Amino acid sequence: MQPPSVPHPETPARRAAAAAAIAAETGLSDALIAETLRDFYARARADDLLGPVFAKVGDWDAHIGTVTDFWSSVALMTGRYHGQPMRAHFGLGLTPAHFARWLELFEATVAERCPPAGAALLTARARTIARSLEMGIAVARGDLPGRTPGAPA
Protein backbone atom coordinates (compact mmCIF):
# COMPACT_ATOMS: atom_id res chain seq x y z
CA MET A 1 0.00 0.00 0.00
CA GLN A 2 1.30 3.46 -0.91
CA PRO A 3 1.41 6.35 1.55
CA PRO A 4 -1.64 8.64 1.28
CA SER A 5 0.46 11.52 -0.08
CA VAL A 6 1.49 9.55 -3.17
CA PRO A 7 -1.21 9.36 -5.85
CA HIS A 8 -2.05 6.01 -7.35
CA PRO A 9 0.11 5.55 -10.47
CA GLU A 10 -2.97 5.26 -12.69
CA THR A 11 -4.58 8.48 -11.41
CA PRO A 12 -2.98 10.92 -13.91
CA ALA A 13 -3.96 8.74 -16.87
CA ARG A 14 -7.50 8.29 -15.57
CA ARG A 15 -7.87 12.03 -14.98
CA ALA A 16 -6.56 12.79 -18.45
CA ALA A 17 -9.00 10.32 -20.00
CA ALA A 18 -11.92 11.73 -17.99
CA ALA A 19 -10.97 15.30 -18.92
CA ALA A 20 -10.73 14.37 -22.60
CA ALA A 21 -14.12 12.65 -22.54
CA ILE A 22 -15.80 15.58 -20.79
CA ALA A 23 -14.13 18.06 -23.14
CA ALA A 24 -15.36 16.10 -26.16
CA GLU A 25 -18.89 15.93 -24.74
CA THR A 26 -19.14 19.58 -23.63
CA GLY A 27 -16.80 21.51 -25.90
CA LEU A 28 -14.96 22.85 -22.86
CA SER A 29 -11.19 23.17 -22.63
CA ASP A 30 -8.79 24.73 -20.18
CA ALA A 31 -8.25 27.58 -22.65
CA LEU A 32 -12.00 28.23 -23.02
CA ILE A 33 -12.49 28.05 -19.25
CA ALA A 34 -9.68 30.59 -18.71
CA GLU A 35 -11.05 32.96 -21.38
CA THR A 36 -14.56 32.67 -19.97
CA LEU A 37 -13.33 33.39 -16.45
CA ARG A 38 -11.39 36.45 -17.59
CA ASP A 39 -14.56 37.77 -19.23
CA PHE A 40 -16.68 36.92 -16.19
CA TYR A 41 -14.31 38.59 -13.73
CA ALA A 42 -14.12 41.70 -15.89
CA ARG A 43 -17.91 41.91 -15.61
CA ALA A 44 -17.88 41.15 -11.88
CA ARG A 45 -15.22 43.77 -11.19
CA ALA A 46 -17.31 46.39 -13.02
CA ASP A 47 -20.51 45.40 -11.21
CA ASP A 48 -21.86 47.76 -8.53
CA LEU A 49 -22.51 44.95 -6.03
CA LEU A 50 -19.64 42.55 -6.78
CA GLY A 51 -16.98 45.07 -7.75
CA PRO A 52 -16.11 46.09 -4.17
CA VAL A 53 -15.64 42.43 -3.19
CA PHE A 54 -13.28 41.76 -6.09
CA ALA A 55 -11.44 45.05 -5.57
CA LYS A 56 -9.81 43.32 -2.60
CA VAL A 57 -7.98 40.85 -4.88
CA GLY A 58 -4.35 41.93 -4.99
CA ASP A 59 -2.86 39.80 -7.76
CA TRP A 60 -5.33 39.22 -10.58
CA ASP A 61 -3.04 36.97 -12.59
CA ALA A 62 -2.64 34.67 -9.60
CA HIS A 63 -6.39 34.80 -8.88
CA ILE A 64 -7.28 33.91 -12.48
CA GLY A 65 -4.78 31.05 -12.32
CA THR A 66 -6.35 29.75 -9.12
CA VAL A 67 -9.95 29.99 -10.32
CA THR A 68 -8.99 28.46 -13.67
CA ASP A 69 -7.47 25.50 -11.81
CA PHE A 70 -10.62 25.33 -9.66
CA TRP A 71 -13.02 25.33 -12.61
CA SER A 72 -10.81 22.94 -14.58
CA SER A 73 -11.05 20.56 -11.64
CA VAL A 74 -14.79 21.09 -11.22
CA ALA A 75 -15.74 20.88 -14.90
CA LEU A 76 -13.07 18.67 -16.48
CA MET A 77 -12.05 16.68 -13.39
CA THR A 78 -8.37 17.55 -13.90
CA GLY A 79 -7.59 17.60 -10.18
CA ARG A 80 -5.44 20.71 -10.51
CA TYR A 81 -7.07 22.69 -7.69
CA HIS A 82 -6.03 21.88 -4.13
CA GLY A 83 -7.31 24.88 -2.17
CA GLN A 84 -10.07 25.47 0.35
CA PRO A 85 -12.75 27.57 -1.36
CA MET A 86 -15.01 27.73 1.69
CA ARG A 87 -12.27 29.19 3.85
CA ALA A 88 -11.30 31.66 1.11
CA HIS A 89 -14.82 33.13 1.11
CA PHE A 90 -15.53 33.36 4.86
CA GLY A 91 -14.25 36.86 5.60
CA LEU A 92 -15.62 38.62 2.53
CA GLY A 93 -18.97 39.72 4.00
CA LEU A 94 -20.96 37.93 1.31
CA THR A 95 -24.76 37.99 1.41
CA PRO A 96 -27.42 36.09 -0.53
CA ALA A 97 -27.58 39.10 -2.88
CA HIS A 98 -23.89 38.63 -3.73
CA PHE A 99 -24.44 34.97 -4.58
CA ALA A 100 -27.51 35.75 -6.70
CA ARG A 101 -25.68 38.43 -8.66
CA TRP A 102 -22.56 36.25 -9.04
CA LEU A 103 -24.72 33.48 -10.49
CA GLU A 104 -26.56 35.89 -12.79
CA LEU A 105 -23.31 37.22 -14.27
CA PHE A 106 -21.64 33.80 -14.38
CA GLU A 107 -24.58 32.17 -16.15
CA ALA A 108 -24.81 35.00 -18.70
CA THR A 109 -21.08 34.80 -19.39
CA VAL A 110 -20.95 31.03 -19.88
CA ALA A 111 -24.10 31.13 -22.03
CA GLU A 112 -22.42 33.66 -24.33
CA ARG A 113 -18.95 32.09 -24.46
CA CYS A 114 -19.38 28.33 -24.17
CA PRO A 115 -21.08 25.67 -26.28
CA PRO A 116 -24.54 24.78 -24.89
CA ALA A 117 -23.41 21.52 -23.26
CA GLY A 118 -20.43 23.25 -21.65
CA ALA A 119 -22.56 26.15 -20.47
CA ALA A 120 -25.07 23.72 -18.97
CA LEU A 121 -22.33 21.87 -17.08
CA LEU A 122 -20.70 25.04 -15.77
CA THR A 123 -24.08 26.52 -14.78
CA ALA A 124 -25.13 23.39 -12.89
CA ARG A 125 -21.82 23.23 -11.05
CA ALA A 126 -21.90 26.97 -10.29
CA ARG A 127 -25.36 26.70 -8.76
CA THR A 128 -24.25 23.81 -6.55
CA ILE A 129 -21.08 25.63 -5.50
CA ALA A 130 -22.94 28.87 -4.77
CA ARG A 131 -25.50 27.03 -2.61
CA SER A 132 -22.74 25.24 -0.74
CA LEU A 133 -20.72 28.41 -0.13
CA GLU A 134 -23.79 30.40 0.86
CA MET A 135 -24.91 27.70 3.30
CA GLY A 136 -21.41 27.22 4.72
CA ILE A 137 -21.00 30.93 5.33
CA ALA A 138 -24.46 31.17 6.93
CA VAL A 139 -23.70 28.25 9.24
CA ALA A 140 -20.31 29.75 10.18
CA ARG A 141 -22.07 33.01 11.07
CA GLY A 142 -24.73 31.15 13.05
CA ASP A 143 -27.42 32.27 10.60
CA LEU A 144 -29.02 28.86 10.26
CA PRO A 145 -32.07 28.42 8.04
CA GLY A 146 -35.30 28.77 9.98
CA ARG A 147 -33.93 31.00 12.70
CA THR A 148 -33.51 34.73 13.04
CA PRO A 149 -29.94 35.83 12.22
CA GLY A 150 -28.11 36.90 15.34
CA ALA A 151 -30.62 35.24 17.69
CA PRO A 152 -29.23 32.87 20.34
CA ALA A 153 -28.97 29.27 19.17
Q: Are 37 and 68 in contact (CB under 8 A)?
A: yes
Q: What residue type is assigned to position 9 of the chain?
A: P
What does each of the 153 residues of the chain score in pLDDT, given as a tens digit?
545 555 555 677 888 888 888 888 999 999 999 999 999 999 999 999 999 998 988 888 898 999 999 999 999 988 888 877 667 666 677 778 898 999 999 999 999 999 999 999 999 999 999 998 888 888 877 776 665 555 555
Spans of all domains in the chain: 24-141
- Residue 32 near residue 118 (C-beta atoms within 8 A): yes
- Count of Cβ atoms closer than 10 Å to residue 123 Cβ: 16
The superfamily in CATH containing domain 24-141 is: Globins (1.10.490.10)
